[in-house]
Structure 1
Amino acid sequence: MTTNHASTQTVTSHDGTRIAFDRSGTGSPVILVSGGSVDHASTAPVAALLSTHFTVYNLHRRGRGASGDTAPYAVKREVEDIEAVLDAAGGSACLWGSSSGAVLALEAARLLPGKIRKLALWEPPFVLDPARRPPADTARTFHDLVAQGRRGDAAEYFMKDVVGLPPEFVANARRQPWWPRQEALAHTLEYDATIMGDYGLPEERVRQVSTPTLVLDGGASFAFIQEAARAVAERLQNGQYRTLEGQTHDVDAKILAPALQEFFDT
Protein backbone atom coordinates (compact mmCIF):
# COMPACT_ATOMS: atom_id res chain seq x y z
CA MET A 1 0.00 0.00 0.00
CA THR A 2 1.33 3.44 -0.93
CA THR A 3 1.57 5.85 1.98
CA ASN A 4 0.07 9.28 1.30
CA HIS A 5 1.49 11.85 3.68
CA ALA A 6 -1.04 14.37 4.98
CA SER A 7 -0.49 18.11 4.83
CA THR A 8 -2.32 20.40 7.23
CA GLN A 9 -4.17 23.22 5.49
CA THR A 10 -6.69 25.81 6.64
CA VAL A 11 -9.83 27.59 5.47
CA THR A 12 -11.80 30.45 7.01
CA SER A 13 -15.29 29.61 8.20
CA HIS A 14 -18.28 31.97 7.90
CA ASP A 15 -17.70 33.52 11.34
CA GLY A 16 -14.00 34.14 10.64
CA THR A 17 -12.69 31.11 12.54
CA ARG A 18 -9.67 29.37 11.04
CA ILE A 19 -10.52 25.71 10.43
CA ALA A 20 -7.77 23.19 9.74
CA PHE A 21 -7.82 19.84 7.98
CA ASP A 22 -5.25 17.23 7.04
CA ARG A 23 -5.34 16.61 3.29
CA SER A 24 -3.97 13.39 1.80
CA GLY A 25 -4.33 11.21 -1.26
CA THR A 26 -5.78 11.78 -4.71
CA GLY A 27 -9.18 11.12 -6.22
CA SER A 28 -12.70 12.26 -5.43
CA PRO A 29 -12.98 14.16 -2.12
CA VAL A 30 -14.05 12.65 1.19
CA ILE A 31 -14.35 14.63 4.43
CA LEU A 32 -13.99 12.93 7.84
CA VAL A 33 -15.61 14.23 11.06
CA SER A 34 -14.50 12.89 14.45
CA GLY A 35 -16.76 12.34 17.45
CA GLY A 36 -16.83 13.52 21.06
CA SER A 37 -13.85 13.53 23.47
CA VAL A 38 -11.47 12.91 20.52
CA ASP A 39 -10.00 14.89 17.63
CA HIS A 40 -8.65 14.34 14.13
CA ALA A 41 -6.03 11.90 15.46
CA SER A 42 -8.83 9.38 16.06
CA THR A 43 -9.82 9.44 12.40
CA ALA A 44 -6.27 9.51 11.03
CA PRO A 45 -6.09 5.69 10.57
CA VAL A 46 -9.26 5.77 8.43
CA ALA A 47 -7.89 8.76 6.52
CA ALA A 48 -4.64 6.93 5.78
CA LEU A 49 -6.48 3.92 4.36
CA LEU A 50 -8.97 5.94 2.32
CA SER A 51 -6.24 8.19 0.93
CA THR A 52 -5.05 5.38 -1.33
CA HIS A 53 -8.27 5.88 -3.28
CA PHE A 54 -9.66 9.32 -2.45
CA THR A 55 -8.53 12.84 -1.61
CA VAL A 56 -9.22 12.84 2.12
CA TYR A 57 -9.91 15.95 4.21
CA ASN A 58 -9.55 14.95 7.87
CA LEU A 59 -11.27 17.80 9.70
CA HIS A 60 -9.87 19.42 12.82
CA ARG A 61 -13.18 20.36 14.42
CA ARG A 62 -13.31 23.83 15.98
CA GLY A 63 -11.61 23.97 19.34
CA ARG A 64 -9.41 21.00 18.43
CA GLY A 65 -6.05 20.49 16.78
CA ALA A 66 -4.95 23.44 14.65
CA SER A 67 -8.44 24.93 14.33
CA GLY A 68 -9.59 28.08 16.08
CA ASP A 69 -12.57 28.40 18.39
CA THR A 70 -14.88 31.42 18.39
CA ALA A 71 -17.51 31.85 21.12
CA PRO A 72 -20.37 31.35 21.49
CA TYR A 73 -20.62 27.78 20.25
CA ALA A 74 -23.47 26.81 17.94
CA VAL A 75 -24.08 23.67 15.90
CA LYS A 76 -24.68 25.89 12.86
CA ARG A 77 -21.09 27.15 13.17
CA GLU A 78 -19.75 23.61 12.87
CA VAL A 79 -21.94 23.02 9.82
CA GLU A 80 -20.44 26.17 8.34
CA ASP A 81 -16.98 24.75 9.09
CA ILE A 82 -17.84 21.64 7.09
CA GLU A 83 -19.18 23.83 4.30
CA ALA A 84 -15.91 25.78 4.17
CA VAL A 85 -13.98 22.53 3.75
CA LEU A 86 -16.50 21.34 1.14
CA ASP A 87 -15.83 24.53 -0.81
CA ALA A 88 -12.08 23.94 -0.54
CA ALA A 89 -12.66 20.44 -1.87
CA GLY A 90 -14.30 21.81 -5.01
CA GLY A 91 -17.86 22.43 -3.83
CA SER A 92 -19.04 18.88 -3.11
CA ALA A 93 -17.72 15.73 -1.45
CA CYS A 94 -18.65 12.56 0.34
CA LEU A 95 -18.91 12.97 4.12
CA TRP A 96 -18.31 10.53 6.97
CA GLY A 97 -18.94 11.15 10.66
CA SER A 98 -18.30 9.06 13.76
CA SER A 99 -20.49 8.94 16.88
CA SER A 100 -21.64 12.48 17.78
CA GLY A 101 -19.64 13.57 14.73
CA ALA A 102 -22.06 11.41 12.73
CA VAL A 103 -24.93 13.46 14.17
CA LEU A 104 -23.13 16.63 13.12
CA ALA A 105 -22.58 15.18 9.64
CA LEU A 106 -26.27 14.28 9.46
CA GLU A 107 -27.20 17.88 10.24
CA ALA A 108 -24.74 19.09 7.60
CA ALA A 109 -26.43 16.85 5.04
CA ARG A 110 -29.81 18.29 6.02
CA LEU A 111 -28.64 21.89 5.66
CA LEU A 112 -26.25 21.43 2.71
CA PRO A 113 -27.99 18.79 0.57
CA GLY A 114 -26.52 19.91 -2.74
CA LYS A 115 -22.94 19.80 -1.46
CA ILE A 116 -22.78 16.32 0.03
CA ARG A 117 -22.73 13.57 -2.59
CA LYS A 118 -22.94 10.67 -0.17
CA LEU A 119 -23.10 10.42 3.61
CA ALA A 120 -21.82 7.64 5.86
CA LEU A 121 -22.51 7.50 9.60
CA TRP A 122 -20.74 5.38 12.20
CA GLU A 123 -22.99 4.68 15.20
CA PRO A 124 -24.83 7.98 15.83
CA PRO A 125 -25.39 7.63 19.61
CA PHE A 126 -29.06 8.48 19.90
CA VAL A 127 -30.85 6.87 22.84
CA LEU A 128 -34.36 5.74 21.93
CA ASP A 129 -35.37 4.93 25.53
CA PRO A 130 -35.97 8.25 27.38
CA ALA A 131 -35.15 6.59 30.70
CA ARG A 132 -31.61 5.79 29.55
CA ARG A 133 -30.67 9.22 28.24
CA PRO A 134 -27.98 11.38 29.88
CA PRO A 135 -29.16 14.20 32.17
CA ALA A 136 -30.97 17.00 30.37
CA ASP A 137 -28.46 19.60 31.58
CA THR A 138 -25.40 17.72 30.30
CA ALA A 139 -24.13 20.53 28.05
CA ARG A 140 -24.46 23.07 30.89
CA THR A 141 -22.67 20.71 33.28
CA PHE A 142 -19.69 20.47 30.92
CA HIS A 143 -19.66 24.24 30.48
CA ASP A 144 -19.69 24.91 34.22
CA LEU A 145 -17.04 22.31 35.09
CA VAL A 146 -14.61 23.65 32.49
CA ALA A 147 -15.33 27.26 33.54
CA GLN A 148 -14.40 26.26 37.10
CA GLY A 149 -11.12 24.78 35.88
CA ARG A 150 -12.32 21.23 36.59
CA ARG A 151 -11.43 19.72 33.23
CA GLY A 152 -10.70 16.32 34.72
CA ASP A 153 -14.11 16.23 36.37
CA ALA A 154 -15.72 17.10 33.03
CA ALA A 155 -13.92 14.23 31.32
CA GLU A 156 -14.92 11.88 34.12
CA TYR A 157 -18.55 13.02 33.93
CA PHE A 158 -18.53 12.23 30.20
CA MET A 159 -17.25 8.72 30.78
CA LYS A 160 -19.48 7.92 33.76
CA ASP A 161 -22.75 9.77 33.19
CA VAL A 162 -22.90 10.10 29.42
CA VAL A 163 -21.14 7.02 28.02
CA GLY A 164 -21.94 4.82 31.03
CA LEU A 165 -18.52 3.21 31.36
CA PRO A 166 -17.94 0.88 34.35
CA PRO A 167 -17.04 2.69 37.59
CA GLU A 168 -13.76 0.79 37.92
CA PHE A 169 -12.68 1.98 34.46
CA VAL A 170 -13.54 5.58 35.26
CA ALA A 171 -11.77 5.44 38.62
CA ASN A 172 -8.59 4.23 36.94
CA ALA A 173 -8.74 6.56 33.94
CA ARG A 174 -7.03 9.55 35.56
CA ARG A 175 -3.86 7.48 36.04
CA GLN A 176 -3.59 6.55 32.36
CA PRO A 177 -1.05 8.17 30.01
CA TRP A 178 -3.84 9.31 27.68
CA TRP A 179 -5.68 11.23 30.42
CA PRO A 180 -4.03 14.64 29.76
CA ARG A 181 -5.42 14.52 26.21
CA GLN A 182 -8.91 13.99 27.62
CA GLU A 183 -8.52 17.06 29.82
CA ALA A 184 -7.18 19.10 26.90
CA LEU A 185 -10.36 18.35 24.92
CA ALA A 186 -12.75 18.82 27.86
CA HIS A 187 -14.08 22.17 26.62
CA THR A 188 -15.39 20.46 23.46
CA LEU A 189 -17.56 18.03 25.43
CA GLU A 190 -20.11 20.83 25.74
CA TYR A 191 -20.13 21.14 21.93
CA ASP A 192 -20.94 17.49 21.32
CA ALA A 193 -23.59 17.49 24.05
CA THR A 194 -25.18 20.49 22.30
CA ILE A 195 -25.14 18.56 19.01
CA MET A 196 -26.88 15.62 20.70
CA GLY A 197 -29.58 17.77 22.32
CA ASP A 198 -31.62 15.51 24.59
CA TYR A 199 -30.04 12.45 22.90
CA GLY A 200 -33.42 11.46 21.49
CA LEU A 201 -33.81 10.73 17.79
CA PRO A 202 -34.84 13.97 15.97
CA GLU A 203 -37.16 12.14 13.59
CA GLU A 204 -38.38 15.11 11.58
CA ARG A 205 -34.87 16.39 10.91
CA VAL A 206 -33.68 12.93 9.92
CA ARG A 207 -36.61 12.56 7.49
CA GLN A 208 -35.53 15.77 5.74
CA VAL A 209 -32.16 14.29 4.70
CA SER A 210 -32.28 13.24 1.04
CA THR A 211 -28.57 12.47 0.58
CA PRO A 212 -27.83 8.76 -0.10
CA THR A 213 -26.72 7.56 3.32
CA LEU A 214 -25.10 4.44 4.77
CA VAL A 215 -25.62 3.94 8.51
CA LEU A 216 -23.08 1.56 10.01
CA ASP A 217 -22.84 -0.12 13.39
CA GLY A 218 -20.76 -2.84 15.02
CA GLY A 219 -22.03 -6.34 15.71
CA ALA A 220 -20.35 -6.29 19.14
CA SER A 221 -21.45 -2.77 20.02
CA PHE A 222 -24.05 -1.61 22.54
CA ALA A 223 -27.61 -2.77 21.80
CA PHE A 224 -28.99 0.77 22.19
CA ILE A 225 -26.60 2.05 19.51
CA GLN A 226 -27.61 -0.74 17.13
CA GLU A 227 -31.27 0.17 17.70
CA ALA A 228 -30.50 3.82 17.00
CA ALA A 229 -28.57 3.04 13.82
CA ARG A 230 -31.46 1.00 12.43
CA ALA A 231 -33.94 3.72 13.38
CA VAL A 232 -31.92 6.42 11.61
CA ALA A 233 -31.61 4.31 8.44
CA GLU A 234 -35.33 3.58 8.41
CA ARG A 235 -36.28 7.26 8.62
CA LEU A 236 -33.90 8.59 5.99
CA GLN A 237 -35.27 9.26 2.52
CA ASN A 238 -32.44 7.28 0.94
CA GLY A 239 -30.84 5.28 3.72
CA GLN A 240 -29.32 1.84 4.07
CA TYR A 241 -28.10 -0.03 7.13
CA ARG A 242 -25.10 -2.32 7.54
CA THR A 243 -23.48 -4.07 10.47
CA LEU A 244 -19.74 -4.73 10.64
CA GLU A 245 -19.55 -7.99 12.53
CA GLY A 246 -17.28 -8.20 15.56
CA GLN A 247 -16.82 -4.43 15.82
CA THR A 248 -17.44 -2.26 18.87
CA HIS A 249 -17.92 1.51 18.99
CA ASP A 250 -14.12 1.75 18.74
CA VAL A 251 -14.16 0.39 15.19
CA ASP A 252 -11.08 -1.05 13.50
CA ALA A 253 -10.09 1.25 10.62
CA LYS A 254 -9.04 -1.76 8.55
CA ILE A 255 -12.61 -3.07 8.73
CA LEU A 256 -14.35 0.27 8.35
CA ALA A 257 -12.37 1.75 5.44
CA PRO A 258 -13.30 -0.93 2.85
CA ALA A 259 -16.98 -0.52 3.68
CA LEU A 260 -16.71 3.25 3.21
CA GLN A 261 -14.78 2.87 -0.03
CA GLU A 262 -17.37 0.48 -1.44
CA PHE A 263 -20.24 2.83 -0.59
CA PHE A 264 -18.56 6.02 -1.79
CA ASP A 265 -17.52 4.35 -5.06
CA THR A 266 -20.96 3.10 -6.05
Structure 2
Amino acid sequence: MTSGDGTAIAFNELGTGPAVVIVGGAFSLAADGDALASALADVGFRAITMDRRGRGTSGDKRGSQPEDEADDLAAVIEAVGGDAIVLGHSSGAVLALFAASRGVPIRALFLSEPPFRFGVEEPAADLPQRLQQLVDEGRSAEAVVTFQLEAVGLPRQMVDSIRQSEQFASLVPLAQSTVYDAELTARVSTPTAAMLSVHPPVTILRGAQTFPVLVAAADRLAAELPDSRLVIVPESVMHRLDPGATARVVRDRV
Protein backbone atom coordinates (compact mmCIF):
# COMPACT_ATOMS: atom_id res chain seq x y z
CA MET A 1 0.00 0.00 0.00
CA THR A 2 0.98 3.66 -0.29
CA SER A 3 1.33 6.01 2.67
CA GLY A 4 0.30 9.64 2.76
CA ASP A 5 3.57 10.98 1.33
CA GLY A 6 3.67 8.39 -1.45
CA THR A 7 6.00 5.93 0.31
CA ALA A 8 5.26 2.27 -0.36
CA ILE A 9 4.79 0.26 2.83
CA ALA A 10 4.92 -3.54 2.65
CA PHE A 11 2.96 -5.80 4.98
CA ASN A 12 1.98 -9.47 5.35
CA GLU A 13 -1.13 -11.11 6.81
CA LEU A 14 -1.61 -14.42 8.59
CA GLY A 15 -4.72 -16.01 10.08
CA THR A 16 -8.33 -14.94 10.37
CA GLY A 17 -10.22 -12.91 12.95
CA PRO A 18 -9.76 -9.42 14.40
CA ALA A 19 -6.74 -7.63 12.91
CA VAL A 20 -3.63 -7.13 15.02
CA VAL A 21 -0.91 -4.97 13.47
CA ILE A 22 2.57 -5.70 14.84
CA VAL A 23 4.96 -2.74 14.90
CA GLY A 24 8.57 -3.75 15.49
CA GLY A 25 11.36 -1.84 17.15
CA ALA A 26 14.85 -0.81 16.07
CA PHE A 27 16.38 -2.96 13.31
CA SER A 28 13.18 -5.05 13.10
CA LEU A 29 11.76 -6.24 9.79
CA ALA A 30 8.30 -7.65 9.15
CA ALA A 31 9.82 -11.13 9.16
CA ASP A 32 11.02 -10.64 12.73
CA GLY A 33 7.36 -10.61 13.77
CA ASP A 34 6.56 -13.95 12.10
CA ALA A 35 6.66 -16.01 15.30
CA LEU A 36 4.38 -13.55 17.08
CA ALA A 37 2.08 -13.43 14.05
CA SER A 38 1.84 -17.22 14.07
CA ALA A 39 1.06 -17.26 17.79
CA LEU A 40 -1.64 -14.62 17.32
CA ALA A 41 -3.15 -16.56 14.42
CA ASP A 42 -3.23 -19.66 16.61
CA VAL A 43 -5.43 -17.89 19.17
CA GLY A 44 -7.87 -16.44 16.64
CA PHE A 45 -6.44 -13.23 15.21
CA ARG A 46 -5.47 -11.97 11.76
CA ALA A 47 -1.89 -10.86 12.35
CA ILE A 48 -0.28 -8.18 10.18
CA THR A 49 3.47 -7.66 10.12
CA MET A 50 4.88 -4.59 8.40
CA ASP A 51 8.21 -3.27 7.21
CA ARG A 52 8.46 0.23 8.63
CA ARG A 53 9.79 2.79 6.13
CA GLY A 54 13.46 2.43 5.30
CA ARG A 55 13.38 -1.29 6.03
CA GLY A 56 12.98 -4.48 4.06
CA THR A 57 10.75 -4.11 1.01
CA SER A 58 9.14 -0.82 2.11
CA GLY A 59 10.17 2.43 0.51
CA ASP A 60 11.66 5.53 2.07
CA LYS A 61 11.74 9.28 1.69
CA ARG A 62 14.52 11.53 2.83
CA GLY A 63 13.58 13.76 5.71
CA SER A 64 10.88 11.44 7.06
CA GLN A 65 9.48 12.45 10.43
CA PRO A 66 7.55 10.61 13.18
CA GLU A 67 4.32 11.93 11.69
CA ASP A 68 5.14 10.09 8.45
CA GLU A 69 5.58 6.82 10.30
CA ALA A 70 2.27 7.39 12.07
CA ASP A 71 0.70 7.90 8.65
CA ASP A 72 2.29 4.64 7.50
CA LEU A 73 0.59 2.78 10.34
CA ALA A 74 -2.71 4.50 9.56
CA ALA A 75 -2.42 3.43 5.93
CA VAL A 76 -1.74 -0.20 6.86
CA ILE A 77 -4.75 -0.19 9.20
CA GLU A 78 -6.89 1.26 6.42
CA ALA A 79 -5.66 -1.42 4.04
CA VAL A 80 -6.64 -4.24 6.42
CA GLY A 81 -10.12 -2.95 7.13
CA GLY A 82 -9.90 0.45 8.79
CA ASP A 83 -9.81 -0.74 12.39
CA ALA A 84 -7.20 -2.80 14.20
CA ILE A 85 -5.56 -3.73 17.45
CA VAL A 86 -1.95 -2.53 17.45
CA LEU A 87 0.88 -4.29 19.26
CA GLY A 88 4.13 -2.33 19.32
CA HIS A 89 7.44 -3.49 20.72
CA SER A 90 10.26 -1.17 21.83
CA SER A 91 10.36 1.92 19.58
CA GLY A 92 7.39 0.38 17.77
CA ALA A 93 5.42 0.80 21.00
CA VAL A 94 6.42 4.47 21.14
CA LEU A 95 5.29 4.85 17.54
CA ALA A 96 1.98 3.09 18.24
CA LEU A 97 1.15 5.39 21.16
CA PHE A 98 2.22 8.45 19.15
CA ALA A 99 0.01 7.34 16.24
CA ALA A 100 -2.96 6.83 18.55
CA SER A 101 -2.49 10.38 19.87
CA ARG A 102 -2.82 11.61 16.28
CA GLY A 103 -6.18 9.92 15.85
CA VAL A 104 -5.11 6.80 13.98
CA PRO A 105 -8.06 4.36 14.31
CA ILE A 106 -6.82 1.82 16.83
CA ARG A 107 -9.20 -0.48 18.72
CA ALA A 108 -6.75 -1.41 21.48
CA LEU A 109 -3.07 -0.76 22.19
CA PHE A 110 -0.49 -3.22 23.51
CA LEU A 111 2.81 -1.50 24.29
CA SER A 112 5.72 -3.86 24.91
CA GLU A 113 8.66 -2.30 26.75
CA PRO A 114 8.53 1.19 25.20
CA PRO A 115 11.87 2.98 25.79
CA PHE A 116 10.56 6.24 27.20
CA ARG A 117 13.28 8.09 29.13
CA PHE A 118 11.11 10.68 30.91
CA GLY A 119 14.06 13.06 30.88
CA VAL A 120 16.49 10.67 32.56
CA GLU A 121 19.87 9.99 30.90
CA GLU A 122 18.67 11.22 27.52
CA PRO A 123 20.87 10.66 24.45
CA ALA A 124 22.54 13.78 23.02
CA ALA A 125 20.05 16.05 21.30
CA ASP A 126 22.05 16.04 18.06
CA LEU A 127 22.09 12.24 17.73
CA PRO A 128 19.57 12.06 14.83
CA GLN A 129 21.54 14.65 12.87
CA ARG A 130 24.85 12.86 13.46
CA LEU A 131 23.34 9.54 12.42
CA GLN A 132 22.00 11.10 9.22
CA GLN A 133 25.40 12.58 8.45
CA LEU A 134 27.06 9.19 8.87
CA VAL A 135 24.54 7.59 6.51
CA ASP A 136 24.93 10.39 3.97
CA GLU A 137 28.71 9.93 4.06
CA GLY A 138 28.36 6.23 3.32
CA ARG A 139 29.36 5.24 6.85
CA SER A 140 26.28 3.14 7.56
CA ALA A 141 28.15 0.64 9.73
CA GLU A 142 29.31 3.47 11.96
CA ALA A 143 25.74 4.79 12.16
CA VAL A 144 24.56 1.39 13.39
CA VAL A 145 27.28 1.28 16.04
CA THR A 146 26.60 4.86 17.15
CA PHE A 147 22.89 4.12 17.52
CA GLN A 148 23.58 1.00 19.56
CA LEU A 149 25.95 2.85 21.87
CA GLU A 150 24.14 6.15 22.31
CA ALA A 151 20.43 5.49 21.68
CA VAL A 152 20.12 1.95 23.00
CA GLY A 153 22.89 2.29 25.58
CA LEU A 154 24.57 -1.05 24.94
CA PRO A 155 28.02 -1.53 26.48
CA ARG A 156 30.97 -1.03 24.11
CA GLN A 157 32.07 -4.65 24.56
CA MET A 158 28.65 -5.93 23.49
CA VAL A 159 28.54 -3.60 20.47
CA ASP A 160 32.02 -4.72 19.42
CA SER A 161 30.89 -8.32 19.68
CA ILE A 162 27.83 -7.63 17.51
CA ARG A 163 30.00 -5.87 14.94
CA GLN A 164 32.19 -8.95 14.62
CA SER A 165 29.21 -11.30 14.29
CA GLU A 166 27.48 -12.53 11.14
CA GLN A 167 24.36 -10.64 12.27
CA PHE A 168 25.98 -7.25 11.77
CA ALA A 169 25.84 -7.40 7.96
CA SER A 170 22.03 -7.58 8.14
CA LEU A 171 21.90 -4.45 10.33
CA VAL A 172 23.92 -2.17 8.06
CA PRO A 173 21.20 -1.80 5.35
CA LEU A 174 18.86 -0.56 8.11
CA ALA A 175 21.11 2.36 9.07
CA GLN A 176 18.70 4.99 7.72
CA SER A 177 15.98 3.65 10.00
CA THR A 178 18.14 4.43 13.04
CA VAL A 179 17.70 8.11 12.18
CA TYR A 180 13.92 7.69 12.33
CA ASP A 181 14.00 5.77 15.61
CA ALA A 182 16.37 8.30 17.18
CA GLU A 183 14.16 11.19 16.02
CA LEU A 184 10.98 9.53 17.29
CA THR A 185 12.33 8.63 20.71
CA ALA A 186 13.93 12.06 21.11
CA ARG A 187 10.74 13.89 20.12
CA VAL A 188 8.53 12.03 22.58
CA SER A 189 10.99 10.70 25.13
CA THR A 190 8.47 11.96 27.64
CA PRO A 191 4.95 11.16 26.38
CA THR A 192 2.95 14.22 25.42
CA ALA A 193 -0.36 15.14 27.02
CA ALA A 194 -2.09 13.85 23.90
CA MET A 195 -0.30 10.52 24.22
CA LEU A 196 -1.41 10.25 27.85
CA SER A 197 -5.05 10.85 26.92
CA VAL A 198 -5.54 8.40 24.04
CA HIS A 199 -8.94 6.77 23.70
CA PRO A 200 -8.08 3.11 22.94
CA PRO A 201 -7.63 0.86 25.98
CA VAL A 202 -3.91 0.43 26.69
CA THR A 203 -2.08 -2.62 28.01
CA ILE A 204 1.61 -2.13 28.87
CA LEU A 205 3.77 -5.25 28.72
CA ARG A 206 7.19 -5.94 30.15
CA GLY A 207 9.24 -8.90 31.20
CA ALA A 208 10.10 -9.67 34.80
CA GLN A 209 13.75 -9.75 33.72
CA THR A 210 14.63 -6.89 31.38
CA PHE A 211 16.80 -3.78 31.28
CA PRO A 212 16.25 -1.43 34.24
CA VAL A 213 15.51 1.55 31.99
CA LEU A 214 12.66 -0.42 30.41
CA VAL A 215 11.26 -1.48 33.77
CA ALA A 216 11.27 2.16 34.86
CA ALA A 217 9.65 3.28 31.59
CA ALA A 218 6.86 0.69 31.64
CA ASP A 219 6.05 1.21 35.30
CA ARG A 220 6.00 5.00 35.03
CA LEU A 221 3.92 4.95 31.85
CA ALA A 222 1.38 2.70 33.58
CA ALA A 223 1.24 5.13 36.50
CA GLU A 224 0.72 8.17 34.27
CA LEU A 225 -1.60 6.72 31.62
CA PRO A 226 -5.15 6.71 33.01
CA ASP A 227 -6.97 3.37 32.98
CA SER A 228 -3.98 1.52 31.49
CA ARG A 229 -3.01 -1.94 32.72
CA LEU A 230 0.54 -3.15 33.34
CA VAL A 231 1.03 -6.86 32.65
CA ILE A 232 4.25 -8.63 33.57
CA VAL A 233 5.11 -11.39 31.09
CA PRO A 234 7.68 -13.66 32.80
CA GLU A 235 8.41 -15.53 29.56
CA SER A 236 9.67 -12.31 27.90
CA VAL A 237 13.30 -11.95 28.96
CA MET A 238 15.79 -9.11 28.37
CA HIS A 239 13.72 -7.21 25.82
CA ARG A 240 12.85 -10.34 23.83
CA LEU A 241 9.11 -10.60 23.51
CA ASP A 242 7.79 -14.14 23.97
CA PRO A 243 5.34 -14.86 21.12
CA GLY A 244 3.07 -17.41 22.80
CA ALA A 245 2.76 -15.63 26.14
CA THR A 246 2.19 -12.27 24.44
CA ALA A 247 -0.49 -13.67 22.15
CA ARG A 248 -2.32 -15.07 25.17
CA VAL A 249 -2.27 -11.66 26.86
CA VAL A 250 -3.79 -10.08 23.75
CA ARG A 251 -6.45 -12.80 23.57
CA ASP A 252 -7.37 -12.32 27.22
CA ARG A 253 -7.45 -8.51 27.08
CA VAL A 254 -9.68 -7.91 24.02
TM bucket normalised to smaller: over 0.9
1:171 aligns with 2:160: yes
Map of 1:241 onto structure 2: 230
Q: Which runs of 4+ in 1 moved over 4 A?
A: none
Map of 2:34 onto structure 1: 44
Residue 173 of structure 1 and its aligned partner are, at CA, apart by 1.7
Return the letter of the residue paired with 2:107. Answer: R
Structure 1 vs Structure 2 CA RMSD = 1.6
Structure 1, unpaired ranges of 5+: 1-10
**C-alpha contact 2:40 2:247 (8 A) present in aligned 1:** yes
Cα deviations across residues 245-264 of structure 1 (Å, max 9, x unaligned)?
Answer: 25221222233222222223
Query: 1-side partners of 2:72 and 2:153: how far apart?
Result: 30
Query: 1-side partners of 2:226 and 2:103: how far apart?
Result: 15
Cα deviations across residues 207-265 of structure 1 (Å, max 9, x unaligned)?
Answer: 2212100001111111221111122122223311111125221222233222222223x
1:104 aligns with 2:99: no
Give 1:57's match in structure 2, choosing from 48, 51, 64: 48
After TM superposition, the score normalised by the length of structure 2 is 0.94
Map of 1:91 onto structure 2: 82
Give 1:221's match in structure 2, choosing from 186, 210, 217: 210
Query: 2-side partners of 1:163 and 1:78: how far apart?
Result: 20
Map of 1:263 onto structure 2: 253
**C-alpha contact 1:133 1:198 (8 A) present in aligned 2:** no
Higher RCO (CA-CA < 8 Å; seq separation 6+): 2
- Inter-CA distance 235–24: structure 2 relative to 1 (3 Å threshold): same
Query: 2-side partners of 1:198 and 1:75: how far apart?
Result: 8
**C-alpha contact 2:108 2:200 (8 A) present in aligned 1:** yes
SS in 2 for 1:12: coil
Residue 203 of structure 1 and its aligned partner are, at CA, apart by 4.1
Query: 1-side partners of 2:212 and 2:192: how far apart?
Result: 20
Query: Which segment drifts farther, 187-196 or 79-88?
Result: 79-88
Map of 1:146 onto structure 2: 135
Map of 2:201 onto structure 1: 212
Give 2:146's match in structure 1, choosing from 144, 157, 160: 157
**C-alpha contact 1:203 1:235 (8 A) present in aligned 2:** no
SS in 2 for 1:259: helix
- Inter-CA distance 185–51: structure 2 relative to 1 (3 Å threshold): same
Return the letter of the residue paired with 2:110. Answer: A
Give 1:250's match in structure 2, choosing from 228, 231, 240: 240
Residue 198 of structure 1 and its aligned partner are, at CA, apart by 5.4
Query: 2-side partners of 1:156 and 1:192: how far apart?
Result: 14
Query: 2-side partners of 1:171 and 1:96: how far apart?
Result: 31
1:128 aligns with 2:128: no
SS in 2 for 1:35: coil
Query: 1-side partners of 2:169 and 2:29: how far apart?
Result: 14
Give 2:23's match in structure 1, choosing from 30, 33, 37: 33
Return the letter of the residue paired with 1:63. Answer: G
Structure 2, unpaired ranges of 5+: none
Query: 1-side partners of 2:20 and 2:187: how far apart?
Result: 29
Residue 72 of structure 1 and its aligned partner are, at CA, apart by 2.1
Query: 2-side partners of 1:66 and 1:261: how far apart?
Result: 30
Query: 1-side partners of 2:241 and 2:251: how far apart?
Result: 15
Q: How many residues align?
A: 252
Residue 199 of structure 1 and its aligned partner are, at CA, apart by 6.2
SS in 1 for 2:210: coil
**C-alpha contact 1:25 1:55 (8 A) present in aligned 2:** yes
1:119 aligns with 2:109: yes
